[in-house]
């Protein structure tokens, strides 16, 4: 099955607000860290998605969500610090 979401995990809207979300629930290890390249890919996916829709009236929010603290590389931390429009949040995964 294919969707026209450009790889984004969640796309939602209400009124003129559009939210684009990327989620990473990677196993915590030194081999799997979110780096600047991962976040740049997300931003690129967002802008590609926005090119295909009428967006003149929309207020767009960008959310990058991870499941573990300390999963960002230093380059990812710097990139997020320089690009404050990206909202970054850690939501720990809970086993039921």
CA dihedral over 6, 38, 83, 28, signed as positive or negative: positive
- Placement of tokens 């629930």 in the chain: 25
pLDDT tens, residue by residue, 46-96: 999 998 887 778 899 999 999 888 889 999 999 999 999 999 999 987 765
Task: Identify the pLDDT of residue 29.
Answer: 62
pTM of the predicted model as reported, rounded to 2 decimal places? 0.84
Q: Estimate to the nearest angstrom the gap between the alpha carbon of 23 and the chain centroid.
A: 6
Domain boundaries, the chain: 10-90
- In whole angstroms, what is the distance from residue 10 CA to residue 64 CA? 10
C-beta of residue 76 within 8 angstroms of C-beta of residue 34: yes
Cα-Cα-Cα-Cα torsion 25, 26, 29, 33, nearest 10 degrees, comes to: -100
pLDDT tens, residue by residue, 6-37: 679 999 999 999 999 999 887 766 677 899 99
């Amino acid at each position: 099955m294919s969707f026209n979401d450009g790889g984004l995990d969640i796309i939602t809207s209400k009124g003129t607000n559009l939210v684009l979300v990327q989620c990473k629930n990677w196993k915590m290890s030194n081999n799997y860290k979110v780096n600047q390249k991962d976040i740049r890919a997300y931003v690129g996916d967002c802008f590609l998605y926005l090119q295909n829709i009428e967006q003149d009236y929309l207020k767009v929010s960008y959310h990058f969500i991870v499941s573990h603290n300390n999963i960002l590389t230093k380059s990812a931390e710097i990139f997020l610090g320089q690009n404050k429009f990206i909202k970054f949040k850690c939501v720990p995964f809970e086993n039921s």
